[in-house]
Structure 1
Amino acid sequence: MNLRHLEYFTVVAQELHFRRSAERLGITQAPLSLAIQALETELGARLFHRTRRTVVLTEAGHALLDDARGILSRVEMAKEHVWQTVSGQVGRLRVGFTNASSLSPFFPRLIHAYRTQRPSVQIVLRELASSQQMEALDARELDIGLLRVPPEAPAPMRDLVLAPLLEEPLLLALHAGHRLAKKRTVRIADLRNEPFIAYPRQSGVALFSQMLSLCEKRGFTPNVVQEAQQASTLIGLTATGLGVALVPGALRAIAVPGVVLRELSDDDTTTTLYIAHRRGDANSRALQFAELAATLQKR
């Protein structure tokens, strides 16, 4: 059934006058009459009683009118929904984030600001290691990643747009009674003989790769005696005295009795949190989220 014919029909049913209906529709009277005739032929029923002076809906016309209005209304709603989706007003946004990044004050500020601007968008948060986020972005299982770039970046990174959001120092977490706790700053070289608590190598956490790279640049391989999946667990385990841990500055938010955090004096001991999305992605929600993050980062 032709939607234009239904539109013409509803206008004539409202005006009950072909000339006025044609003027309202911006067409001449002849194509309007032909459209109504075509609709009647398709339905196998007359929709109007027409005389020289009057136009009246038939019983079949009355039966069609409510349905026609409902169909046209749903079509307009569909157009509006598509527009809202394309413009980023509705839909779903899947955001990946690292465990440590969630502890940064910037993270809740960004999420809250986006939810305020786009209340009808369903935002889905997934905690994933950086390399896992890259793979999920490549597989279109994520729209946005908040991640760190490991030195040996995986292949999917080539298809990502990455913009730096936050640069923060790496800190040394250690037991309050440790000999290095007395220093204001510590060098990576001072940790040559220290036992380390670290993320598992196979976890895909970029901070593990960075720790390994920093130590190897100083001529030693860190002696990892204990592994932990979560940033908060790294801090907690240093309170046992098992070892030391390199953690991002955001973990200052975690206060654990018996644990102190010391700055590193080396000039290459910073870590950067990036926002990532697919190159050439037409997902307006992802692009708007990235633009918002860039705006907030400048404030």
Structure 2
Amino acid sequence: MNIRHLEYFVTLAEELHFRRSAERIGITQAPLSLAIQALEADLGARLFDRTRRTVSLTEAGVALLDDARAIIARVEHAKESVWETVSGEVGRLRVGFTNASTLLPIFPHLIHAYRTQRPRVKIELHDLSSSRQIEGIGQRELDVGLLRLPDGPQPPDIVFEPLTEEPLLLAMHARHRLAQAKSIRIIDLRDEPFIAYPRGVALFSQILALCAKRGFEPNVVQETEQMSTTIGLAATGLGVSLVPATLQVIAFPGVVFRKLNDKDAMTRIYVAHRYGDANARARQFTELALALDRRVLSN
């Protein structure tokens, strides 16, 4: 049974006139007649009684009409559902993010803007380390991620689009010996106890690389996964920490933040997604993130 034949049948059932039906469909009468004959042959029943003057539905035609309309409606609904999914209007978007990325100015704007533009898309947010996000994107557990690049080669099937870059600051107790220094460089931290993120966390890998470039390895006395905890521990005087500049918003009594006089003391957030992914929602989220980032930079 051909869906087009059903559409022709419904039109003829409504018009009960071959010429008007053909004009409404945009064809001539001959292919309309052939389509009705083919449908009758498929069903094994006459659908119309035809005379030279009139066309009327048979009992079989009346029985088919409601079902034909329902079938056509279901097919149209299926087409619309597929289009909405392919166009990114509906579905699910699984977004990974690092704990610190929530403090970036772009983060709340990005999530709010996407939800506003795609209200029928269910967005799922997952607080994960950068490495875990990369793994999740590769295994199709996530669609897109906001992350920092870990050391070493990255999977070739994942695209990393650079977003906002920010300086690393030194967080320390207000009475630390460097708190009043006019200029602080990473080399000045050679003998300092460090509060750091666990090994394998992308930001700590970057800090290790910065220190190694200057000939030393940081003396880590305490590891913590939460950046807010890092600031709290710095307030105790336990050690110093290198943190993204956005952490300054955590106003912790007894903690000061100081700039580093090192041009490479920077860290960048990337938006990551699978290479060649047909997921329109991930593509739209990425494009929105890049557009908002450019807007933030221009301001």
Report the TM-score range of the alignment, normalised by the length of the smaller protein. Answer: over 0.9
SS in 2 for 1:242: coil
Q: Which residue of 2 aligns with 1:148?
A: 148
Q: CA deviation at 1:72?
A: 0.7
SS in 1 for 2:179: helix
Cα deviation 1:64-104 (Å, max 9, x = unaligned): 11111111112112112212222222222221111111111
Give the structure-1-normalised TM-score.
Answer: 0.93
Q: Which residue of 2 aligns with 1:174?
A: 172
Q: Which of 195, 206, 224 is the matching residue for 1:228?
A: 224
Q: CA deviation at 1:184?
A: 4.7
Q: Which residue of 2 aligns with 1:197?
A: 195
SS in 2 for 1:145: strand
Q: Which residue of 2 aligns with 1:124?
A: 124
Q: Which residue of 2 aligns with 1:239?
A: 235
Please give the alpha-carbon distance, in whole angstroms, between the structure 1 residues aligned to 2:153 and 2:244. 19
Q: Which of 272, 284, 288 is the matching residue for 2:284?
A: 288
1:184–1:262: 8 Å Cα contact kept in structure 2?
A: no
Please give the alpha-carbon distance, in whole angstroms, between the structure 2 residues aligned to 1:207 and 1:264. 16
Cα deviation 1:100-125 (Å, max 9, x = unaligned): 11111111111111111222222221
Alignment of 1:47-196 (within 5 A): 47-154=47-154, 156=155, 158-196=156-194
- Give the partner amino acid of 2:276: G
Please give the alpha-carbon distance, in whole angstroms, between the structure 2 residues aligned to 1:270 and 1:71. 60
Q: After alignment, is 145-154 or 223-232 more displaced?
A: 145-154
- Give the partner amino acid of 1:113: A
Q: Which residue of 2 aligns with 1:277?
A: 273
SS in 2 for 1:186: coil
Q: Which residue of 2 aligns with 1:25?
A: 25
Please give the alpha-carbon distance, in whole angstroms, between the structure 1 residues aligned to 2:153 and 2:124. 25
Alpha-carbon RMSD across the aligned residues, in angstroms, is 1.7
SS in 2 for 1:146: strand
Please give the alpha-carbon distance, in whole angstroms, between the structure 1 residues aligned to 2:5 and 2:256. 76
* Structure 1: runs of 5 or more not aligned: none
Please give the alpha-carbon distance, in whole angstroms, between the structure 1 residues aligned to 2:254 and 2:182. 17
* Structure 2: runs of 5 or more not aligned: none
Q: CA deviation at 1:207?
A: 0.7
Q: CA deviation at 1:45?
A: 2.9
Please give the alpha-carbon distance, in whole angstroms, between the structure 2 residues aligned to 1:294 and 1:271. 17
- Give the partner amino acid of 2:189: L
Matched residue count: 295
Please give the alpha-carbon distance, in whole angstroms, between the structure 1 residues aligned to 2:232 and 2:59. 79
Q: Which residue of 2 aligns with 1:35?
A: 35
SS in 2 for 1:36: helix
Cα deviation 1:227-246 (Å, max 9, x = unaligned): 11111111122122221111
Q: Which residue of 2 aligns with 1:206?
A: 202
Task: Give the ranges of 4+ consecutive aligned residues of structure 1 lying more than 4 Å apart after TM superposition.
Answer: none
Percent identical pairs in the alignment equals: 71
Tell me whether 1:256 sits opposite 2:256 in the alignment. no
Q: CA 1:98–1:185 in structure 2 vs 1: closer, same or farther (change >3 Å)?
A: farther
Please give the alpha-carbon distance, in whole angstroms, between the structure 2 residues aligned to 1:137 and 1:40. 52
Cα deviation 1:188-226 (Å, max 9, x = unaligned): 11211211111111xx32111011111122222111111
Cα deviation 1:229-287 (Å, max 9, x = unaligned): 11111112212222111111111121112211111111210111111222222222222
Please give the alpha-carbon distance, in whole angstroms, between the structure 1 residues aligned to 2:247 and 2:169. 9
Q: CA deviation at 1:15?
A: 0.4
Cα deviation 1:132-181 (Å, max 9, x = unaligned): 22222222222222111123244x1x222222211101011112222222
